[in-house]
Structure 1
């Protein structure tokens, strides 16, 4: 134990120094926060800074870390919403959007089916009556040709449409596998839209996550009220399809009169020059789904309403071989080349996609508006005063716990208690340093996790010191007693901390919101407390003993 190599000592003190360095910005929270906000505002403005932004940016040196522990909703104040997505609306939109295709398909086969007529039907079904029911089997086969495979692992081998007959009427509806896939895509789409809307206003660390089958939890720190958040979520994204004039890597290039210079999402550093007048807009897009092209490669299919279909068909007929840009919120998310005339209001986007990438692109294409109505089943506004009260209460709890532990350790273990207290301060710095590095969010339960960690960190040192006292009673020398104390206490320390770490992992996996905040700080605290107890206090004790060389020690 007393032969700790120099490289190992450098590593231990280096880790401690890095923890202190990355935790330091939290001691100047408001200053660093203003510095970070100024940098973000300057980047959004294309590198142009106002005098106020330049002043705010200069208050913190750029060479120092600027990561902060984000404050959760209960500490900063803000808005809390729990929304339920009405996924049945999407079933109706999908099925009713099939009428144009079914009509055109059966009209071309009038010699088989006769005349056709749309019938009243439930919202999630399409009923089409034919005048020659004797050829119903052939009519069903024709309509089934419109079906596509369900693009999910659970739906492998399934079709997205169920086509059946009721007398002289063809009934078209989504299959159960497709409904499950649609539910999942609808929630993903709603999550994407909400996240884009919330991120657009520059809020810090919003919590936007799925709860159950059709609910979404939205917590946004720093926003004024739940009503303001609801209005923000209701904002419609701007989706357009524009002709492409050219590409460039110059972010300040002149696009020309009535043209736009927009960045590419796919290729960082690339910019597209597009015409300012779109061919069609997202308001005319009725659906976009992940699919496969004729070669079995992942692709994205899309469909317009009749107005958009006519405009898009005319444009593609006149511009074969030319690219067109899919623009979402002033960013080009894709710029495919028109391969052929695309009539009927539907088309396919091909490329080097994986299944996941095609799904994400379909989500982005549909992200122009919320896919279905959302009912807000729970909403709360937490004022900043209440959040400040929580911070103050957490500070008091931490200071009282920290002070009581330090006094106790010095009173009971003397100089060794002082060593434990030094390691405890290092432990707190490491916790905040790691939270800053990973961008963790600190909540009130998270503060409770830190307070609990203080007690657990001391517990490891207590085990070691008590074991050293037991070894000293057997008339062993100080060096041997300290060595055996650390060796024989190690198994108990590992058992206690590993079992608690497993519990924190379970809480993080199965919990949500505040429970996860508690689990994160507890898990990080366990790792740092094991590091400080096993390595830092040992190095402090060894360094002290090498300098003093006492004949006896008192623990």
Structure 2
């Protein structure tokens, strides 16, 4: 075990030097020293509690999920009945009471209607909808089950979490923490964010884009009364848009949603050079948009964003290729924000900020100072104790300890992990755990010497026997660290990251490196006795 050929020594030193070098940019950043631009500068990211930033708690309106689900099913059922092999006549359609009701013209067509509708429900969705025929098979009723609603809310919240993550990443921030909390809440923590209002505006914007045809048959009296005619809905004009302060009647179904957007960017309107947003659909969206504009040449369609009409241009000719432009009296900042929101995807539900906390950088700096002081005092006491008790072997343990801390920092920087205040606590814990391995080794060497073994044999047996206990203990800690990282969040994960990295680096430095140093000393000096 004490045999270290030249190639092995070079290999171990290469790993050590390379990993320690990775920590240098982070050390320069933490100590406010200038790091040369020409050198690699990847550093450890500081968490919210160290760098300051914003903590926001968002809550979703889950009732929107059920309403959207009903509307999607209504459109799908209408299309299925219209395209059925047998001509199925149906009349009034209602979504009152949270269920979809369609009246059939001919009760004898109930089997054909059932055959047309069942494929929409799918084998995996049978339990999510209850289908029944009432009033002598003249009324078709689809009722969402509670399990179906719960699954839809879960899916919507997962999608909303992904959209929130993409939007925050577009701001250029690093290592945000975005996690679900309960059934309808999302926690967002963004370290180093200097403009929390921009974040709130971006997350509060649903960015649900729709293109719907204007209902030209709606009368001014119907619009003024607020009661749309069947198959239509009333939508207010967006402030600053072409229809600000007005209410527009549009067809409720048959439009095109922005779900199929693949890109959105801020541009300028070529007519008046005002800020605008260019959008691009995928193949499915492009086909729907082309069909909509082809079938309605000469008519107006409304561009609706988050339930407000931005503009209502007239279709002069079919629009192919899946590209279009959105205008509506935007400022440059509004157009940029809208393009960013559309590019990241529409939120399936509205999110409301119900809690906001801001951590200032001064508090984070104080945390760093306190944590560094705790780590420094702890390290100093450990160093003094190890040198006083174990002499030369204590010096080896101290050197291994310093390298261990730098290697942890370097590995964290290489993988762009985040250092939090609990992470600093993990550093302090790692210092104690790292020297614990050397305590076991040195005490075992003492026992071997007391039994009368020669120096080399005592050292070799000491490392071999103690390593078993060290590996067993680290394996147990590794399991605990994995569980903390898997099931924990935020600060708990920050602690787990340092713990897991520290397990590997401490074994490498406290066992492998100190054994190499000890073997080199024994080979060079060949002592007949050791003080330990």
Specify the alignment match of 1:190 in structure 2. Answer: 160
Query: What is the DSSP-based 3-state SS (H/G/I as helix, E as strand, rest coil) of the residue aligned with 1:117?
Result: strand
Specify the alignment match of 2:203 in structure 1. Answer: 233
Contact preservation (8 Å) 1:119, 1:128: yes
Specify the alignment match of 1:55 in structure 2. Answer: none
Matched, 1:166 2:134: yes
Query: What is the DSSP-based 3-state SS (H/G/I as helix, E as strand, rest coil) of the residue aligned with 1:165?
Result: strand
- Is the alpha carbon distance of 1:122 and 1:288 closer, same or farther for their aligned partners in structure 2, counting shifts above 3 Å? farther
Query: What is the DSSP-based 3-state SS (H/G/I as helix, E as strand, rest coil) of the residue aligned with 1:122?
Result: helix
Specify the alignment match of 2:36 in structure 1. Answer: 60
**CA shift at 1:4, angstroms?**
1.2
**CA shift at 1:71, angstroms?**
0.5
User: For 1:398 and 1:12, how far apart are their aligned partners in 2?
Assistant: 27
Matched, 1:129 2:103: yes
Q: 1:482 aligns with which of 446, 459, 478?
A: 459
User: For 1:176 and 1:326, how far apart are their aligned partners in 2?
Assistant: 40
Query: What is the DSSP-based 3-state SS (H/G/I as helix, E as strand, rest coil) of the residue aligned with 1:172?
Result: strand
TM-score, structure 1 normalization: 0.69
- Is the alpha carbon distance of 1:497 and 1:235 closer, same or farther for their aligned partners in structure 2, counting shifts above 3 Å? same
Query: What is the DSSP-based 3-state SS (H/G/I as helix, E as strand, rest coil) of the residue aligned with 1:496?
Result: helix
User: For 1:17 and 1:327, how far apart are their aligned partners in 2?
Assistant: 55
User: For 1:24 and 1:110, how far apart are their aligned partners in 2?
Assistant: 72
**CA shift at 1:450, angstroms?**
0.9
Matched, 1:215 2:192: no
User: For 1:312 and 1:458, how far apart are their aligned partners in 2?
Assistant: 76
**CA shift at 1:166, angstroms?**
3.0
**CA shift at 1:23, angstroms?**
0.7
User: For 1:209 and 1:33, how far apart are their aligned partners in 2?
Assistant: 34
Specify the alignment match of 2:50 in structure 1. Answer: 75
Specify the alignment match of 1:94 in structure 2. Answer: 69
Bigger drift between 460-469 and 212-221 goes to 212-221
Unaligned runs of 5+ in 2: 212-254, 262-281, 298-316, 327-340
- Is the alpha carbon distance of 1:365 and 1:77 closer, same or farther for their aligned partners in structure 2, counting shifts above 3 Å? closer
Query: What is the DSSP-based 3-state SS (H/G/I as helix, E as strand, rest coil) of the residue aligned with 1:515?
Result: helix
Contact preservation (8 Å) 2:88, 2:113: yes
Contact preservation (8 Å) 1:158, 1:177: no
- Is the alpha carbon distance of 1:203 and 1:528 closer, same or farther for their aligned partners in structure 2, counting shifts above 3 Å? same
User: For 2:417 and 2:199, how far apart are their aligned partners in 1?
Assistant: 23
- Is the alpha carbon distance of 1:366 and 1:101 closer, same or farther for their aligned partners in structure 2, counting shifts above 3 Å? farther
How many residue pairs match? The answer is 434
Contact preservation (8 Å) 1:77, 1:387: yes
Specify the alignment match of 1:350 in structure 2. Answer: none
Specify the alignment match of 1:431 in structure 2. Answer: 408
Query: What is the DSSP-based 3-state SS (H/G/I as helix, E as strand, rest coil) of the residue aligned with 2:96?
Result: coil
- Is the alpha carbon distance of 1:384 and 1:521 closer, same or farther for their aligned partners in structure 2, counting shifts above 3 Å? same
Pairs within 5 Å for 1:97-496: 97-103=72-78, 105-106=80-81, 114-119=89-94, 121-123=96-98, 125-145=99-119, 147=120, 149=122, 155=124, 158=126, 162-167=130-135, 168-174=138-144, 179=149, 182-224=152-194, 227-235=197-205, 284-285=256-257, 310-311=292-293, 324=322, 367-496=344-473
Query: What is the DSSP-based 3-state SS (H/G/I as helix, E as strand, rest coil) of the residue aligned with 1:9?
Result: helix
User: For 2:498 and 2:167, how far apart are their aligned partners in 1?
Assistant: 29
**CA shift at 1:286, angstroms?**
6.1
- Is the alpha carbon distance of 1:506 and 1:307 closer, same or farther for their aligned partners in structure 2, counting shifts above 3 Å? closer
- Is the alpha carbon distance of 1:111 and 1:22 closer, same or farther for their aligned partners in structure 2, counting shifts above 3 Å? closer
Query: What is the DSSP-based 3-state SS (H/G/I as helix, E as strand, rest coil) of the residue aligned with 2:97?
Result: coil
TM-score, structure 2 normalization: 0.72
Query: What is the DSSP-based 3-state SS (H/G/I as helix, E as strand, rest coil) of the residue aligned with 1:541?
Result: helix
- Is the alpha carbon distance of 1:149 and 1:181 closer, same or farther for their aligned partners in structure 2, counting shifts above 3 Å? farther
Specify the alignment match of 2:485 in structure 1. Answer: 508
User: For 2:324 and 2:17, how far apart are their aligned partners in 1?
Assistant: 48
Specify the alignment match of 2:9 in structure 1. Answer: 9
Bigger drift between 65-74 and 128-137 goes to 128-137
**CA shift at 1:116, angstroms?**
0.5
**CA shift at 1:394, angstroms?**
0.8
Contact preservation (8 Å) 2:204, 2:352: no
Matched, 1:517 2:499: no
Query: What is the DSSP-based 3-state SS (H/G/I as helix, E as strand, rest coil) of the residue aligned with 1:430?
Result: helix
User: For 2:161 and 2:130, how far apart are their aligned partners in 1?
Assistant: 28
1:83-138 per-residue CA deviation (whole Å, 9 max, x = no partner) reads 23334312311322443454455467899755501235124x22122343353333
- Is the alpha carbon distance of 1:228 and 1:389 closer, same or farther for their aligned partners in structure 2, counting shifts above 3 Å? farther
Contact preservation (8 Å) 2:207, 2:342: no
Contact preservation (8 Å) 1:99, 1:126: yes
Specify the alignment match of 1:84 in structure 2. Answer: 59
Contact preservation (8 Å) 1:83, 1:378: yes
Contact preservation (8 Å) 1:67, 1:436: yes
1:148-170 per-residue CA deviation (whole Å, 9 max, x = no partner) reads 547xxxx4x85875432232321
Query: What is the DSSP-based 3-state SS (H/G/I as helix, E as strand, rest coil) of the residue aligned with 1:538?
Result: helix
- Is the alpha carbon distance of 1:21 and 1:238 closer, same or farther for their aligned partners in structure 2, counting shifts above 3 Å? farther
Contact preservation (8 Å) 1:81, 1:376: yes
Contact preservation (8 Å) 1:285, 1:308: no
Contact preservation (8 Å) 1:203, 1:221: yes
**CA shift at 1:181, angstroms?**
5.2
**CA shift at 1:519, angstroms?**
0.8
